[in-house]
Amino acid sequence: ELKSSYELALERIKGMGIDDSLSLTAEQKQRIAEIKRECEAKVAENKILMHGAPELPEEIRKLEQRRDEKIEALYQEARQQQK
């Protein structure tokens, strides 16, 4: 079964032990949305600039990995605040 990048990211995040019941502040939710928008924009830009380039899939993977790392950092921050 093929999964979207989003579904794969959710699986990775769950695999990192992120609690679904974790409460995020409005600011943290807004920051996550901003991170996702920035990544989507960079992916779109790379698709235009690197159209057909063999490196494109790897560049997209790197951007998505950076996105996931930034989101994970926000979740870790939220966990620390709730302790």
For residue range 9-26, list pLDDT tens digits in order. Answer: 777 777 766 555 578 888
Strands (E), the chain: none
What are the residues whose beta carbons fall under 8 Å from the beta carbon of 60, sequence distance 6 or more?
43, 46, 47
Percentages helix, strand, coil for the chain (3-state, rounded to 5) are: 75, 0, 25
Tell me the two tokens of residue 24.
């995020």
pTM, two decimal places: 0.72
- Look at residue 65 in the predicted model and tell me its pLDDT: 95
- Look at residue 44 in the predicted model and tell me its pLDDT: 96
